[in-house]
C-alpha cells in the first residue's frame, strides 16, 4: 500500500458491469484510477459513496436494463440523503449522452469509454456542482496514455486491453459508433502492464480488443521498425517470466492472418481456444451484414487454424433473424455449425439498433420467427457443447486454479479450452496450474481429480 492509499478516509465504491470483457477490464481500470482518491470497493450499492454503472449498448435489452437499474439507484441515493454519486459509464453513456441525465436526473456523471481517466476530475467537479457532467469525447490515445501503467491484479487470470474501437461497420453493430475508430496501444505500454501483472502472480493474460486481431501497435522502442501484429505480440508476451497462458478476444475472420494462425502452433503459451464470431452461415446475409467474407472463407480459416493447432476449441457468435433472413439462410447457419463443431457459442436474436444501417433495412424478421430460430440454433449448440465437454472425460488437463469452490475443500479453475473445472484440493493451489484428471462433465463445467501442481515458470 502506498501513502496515497492511506491518506484519505476510505469511500465506498461499487461498480456494476454489463456487457463484454472490455467492460470488465475498464471497470478494473476505473478502480485503479479511483484508488488513490481513497475509494475502496464495497460489496453492494447500498454501502457506496460512488456507484458506477458500466453499460453495454449492443442489444436493446441491455440498454433497458440500465434505465431500470438507475431507477433503483435513485431510491438508494434518496435514502442516503443525496450523498451517493451516480456515474454512468460505457457504451450507453456514449450513445445516450445528455439524454441519460434528462431521463434519470439522479445521474450525476456520464462518461464514455474513452473518458475513464477523467473520472477523478469529474467527481471533483460534481462535488463542487460546477462544470460539465458529461465526457463523451473520443480520445482513445489520451485514455491509454493517462491510465496508470501498473495494475492491481485480481487473481491469476487477467485481462489486458491492447486495442479499442472498430472500423469494420458491420451493419447491425453499434460498436464503431460507441467505441470509435480502431486504435492499438504501443507494445511498450502493453509490456509494462503485462510485466506488472506477472509480478503480482498473474499466469494467464487475455489480450482484449473489440477487433483484437486487427492489432497493429507501435513496435518496442528498442526495435523501432514497423507496427507489430497480434501474432508478434503474443509471442513477445509469452516470453515474460511467469506468463504461462495467453488468450485473445474478440477476433474477426477477416484479420485471421497466417502469422497469427502459425503462432497458435509454435507458441505453447497460446491456449488452444479461439473465439471467432461468424454471425451467419449464409453468404447473402454475411454480405448484408458487411462482414467481408463468405461461409466458405470461414471454413478455410478454421481448417488452417486446426491444421496449425490440432484439437483447438472453437467458439463463435451468431445472430438469428437479421433483416431479410429466410428459412434457407437460417439453414445455412445451422449447416455451418454442424460442419464446424463449436466448443461454446453465443447466439442472439437480431436487435434493431437506432443509427445502424440494418435498422433501416427491409424484411425485418417477426419476433416469433426469431424465437423459433434461436431455440433451434441453441439446441444444436448446446448439444455440441455437451459433447465437447464429455470428450474431456479421461483426459488429464492443466487447470489454472482461480478460486475456492462452493463446497468446502473444493477449488475451481479453467481448462486450456476455457471450461470451468471443479475438483477437491487445498486453497493454496489458487494461482497455480494443476494437473487434473477429468472424471465428469455437464453442459457448463467439468469435474476432476487433482493429480499434481506445476510450479510457476521462471
Binding site for ligand SF4 (CB under 6 A): 166, 168-170, 173, 175-176, 210-211, 252
- How far apart are alpha carbons 58 and 170 in whole angstroms? 12
Smallest distance from ligand SF4 to CB 356, Å: 9
Which H or E run contains 163? strand 163-164
Which residues does 66 contact at the CB level (< 8 Å), separation at least 6? 18, 53, 55, 88, 92
Residue 259, CA distances (Å) to 86, 204, 424 in order: 45, 22, 40
* Residue 168 site contact among ligand 5AD, ligand SF4, none (CB < 5 to 8 Å, cut-off depends on kind): ligand SF4
Gyration radius from the chain CA atoms: 23
Decide which of ligand SF4, ligand 5AD, none touches 424; Cβ closer than 5 to 8 Å per partner kind. none
Asked if residue 207 binds ligand 5AD (CB under 6 A), the reply is: no
Nearest to ligand SF4 of 177, 450 (CB atom) = 177
89 vs 170, beta carbon nearer ligand SF4:
170
Of 144, 159, 172, 273, the residue at the interface with ligand 5AD (CB under 6 A) is 172
Query: Is residue 211 a contact point for ligand 5AD (CB under 6 A)?
Result: no
Question: Comparing C-alpha atoms, which of 435, 413, 411 is closest to residue 424?
Answer: 411
Size of the site for ligand 5AD (CB under 6 A): 12
CB of 178 to ligand SF4, least distance (A): 10
Structural contact between residues 332 and 280, judged by C-beta atoms closer than 8 angstroms = yes
Q: Where are the beta strands (DSSP E) in 236-372?
A: 245-249, 273-275, 313-320, 344-349
The packing angle between helices 21-34 and 119-127, to 10°, is 60
How far, CA to CA in Å, does 250 sit from each of 14, 166, 274, 285, 451? 27, 11, 9, 21, 33
Tell me how far, at minimum, the Cβ of 256 lies from ligand SF4, in Å. Answer: 13
x/- map, 324-353, ligand 5AD, by CB under 6 A: ------------------------x-xx-x
Residue with cell 484440493: 425
Q: In the complex with ligand 5AD, which residue's Cβ is closer, 34 or 320? A: 320
CB of 277 to ligand 5AD, least distance (A): 4
Interface with ligand 5AD includes 248 (CB under 6 A)?
Answer: no
Site for ligand 5AD in 261-320 (CB under 6 A): 277, 279, 317, 319
Cα–Cα distance measured from residue 138 to residue 94, given in angstroms and rounded to the nearest whole number: 9
Positions touching ligand 5AD (CB under 6 A) are 58-59, 172-173, 277, 279, 317, 319, 348, 350-351, 353
Amino acid at each position: 500500500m502506498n501513502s496515497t492509499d492511506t491518506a484519505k478516509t476510505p469511500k465506498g465504491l461499487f461498480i456494476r458491469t454489463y456487457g463484454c470483457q472490455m467492460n470488465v477490464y475498464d471497470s478494473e481500470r476505473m478502480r485503479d484510477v479511483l484508488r488513490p482518491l481513497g475509494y475502496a470497493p464495497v460489496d453492494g450499492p447500498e454501502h457506496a459513496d460512488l456507484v458506477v454503472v458500466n453499460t453495454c449498448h449492443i442489444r436493446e435489452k441491455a440498454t433497458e436494463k440500465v434505465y431500470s437499474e438507475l431507477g433503483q439507484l435513485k431510491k438508494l441515493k434518496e435514502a442516503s440523503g443525496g450523498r451517493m454519486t451516480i456515474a454512468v459509464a460505457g457504451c450507453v453513456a456514449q450513445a445516450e449522452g445528455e439524454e441519460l441525465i434528462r431521463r434519470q436526473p439522479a445521474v450525476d456523471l456520464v462518461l464514455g469509454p474513452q473518458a475513464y481517466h477523467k473520472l477523478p476530475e469529474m467527481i471533483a467537479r460534481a462535488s463542487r456542482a460546477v462544470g460539465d457532467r458529461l465526457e463523451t469525447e473520443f480520445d482513445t490515445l489520451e485514455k491509454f496514455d493517462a491510465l496508470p501503467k501498473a495494475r492491481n491484479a485480481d487473481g491469476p487470470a487477467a485481462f489486458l486491453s491492447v486495442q479499442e474501437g472498430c472500423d469494420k461497420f458491420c451493419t447491425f453493430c453499434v460498436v464503431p459508433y460507441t467505441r470509435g475508430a480502431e486504435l492499438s496501444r504501443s507494445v511498450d505500454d502493453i509490456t509494462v502492464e503485462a510485466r506488472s501483472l506477472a509480478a503480482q502472480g498473474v499466469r494467464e493474460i487475455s489480450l482484449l480488443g473489440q477487433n483484437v486481431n486487427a492489432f497493429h501497435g507501435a513496435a518496442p522502442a528498442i526495435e523501432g521498425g514497423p507496427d507489430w501484429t497480434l501474432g508478434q505480440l503474443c509471442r513477445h508476451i509469452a516470453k515474460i517470466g511467469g506468463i504461462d497462458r495467453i488468450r485473445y478476444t474478440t477476433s474477426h475472420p477477416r484479420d485471421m492472418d497466417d502469422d497469427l494462425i502459425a503462432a497458435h502452433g509454435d507458441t505453447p503459451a497460446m491456449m488452444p481456444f479461439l473465439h471467432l464470431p461468424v454471425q451467419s452461415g449464409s453468404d447473402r446475409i454475411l454480405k448484408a451484414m458487411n462482414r467481408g467474407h463468405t461461409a466458405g472463407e470461414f471454413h478455410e480459416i478454421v481448417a488452417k487454424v486446426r491444421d496449425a493447432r490440432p484439437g483447438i476449441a472453437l467458439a463463435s457468435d451468431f445472430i438469428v433473424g437479421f433483416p431479410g433472413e429466410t428459412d434457407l439462410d437460417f439453414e445455412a447457419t445451422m449447416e455451418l455449425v454442424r460442419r464446424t463443431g463449436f466448443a461454446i457459442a453465443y447466439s442472439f436474436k437480431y436487435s434493431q439498433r437506432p443509427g445502424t444501417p440494418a435498422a433501416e433495412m427491409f424484411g425485418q424478421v417477426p419476433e416469433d420467427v426469431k424465437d423459433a430460430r434461436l431455440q433451434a440454433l441453441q439446441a444444436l449448440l448446446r448439444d455440441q457443447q455437451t459433447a465437447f465437454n464429455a470428450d474431456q472425460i479421461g483426459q488429464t488437463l492443466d487447470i489454472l486454479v482461480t478460486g475456492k469452490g462452493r463446497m468446502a475443500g473444493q477449488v475451481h479453475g479453467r481448462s486450456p479450452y476455457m471450461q470451468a473445472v471443479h475438483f477437491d484440493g487445498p486453497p493454496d493451489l489458487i494461482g497455480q496450474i494443476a494437473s487434473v484428471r477429468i472424471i465428469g462433465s455437464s453442459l457448463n463445467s467439468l469435474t476432476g481429480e487433482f493429480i499434481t501442481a506445476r510450479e510457476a515458470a521462471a
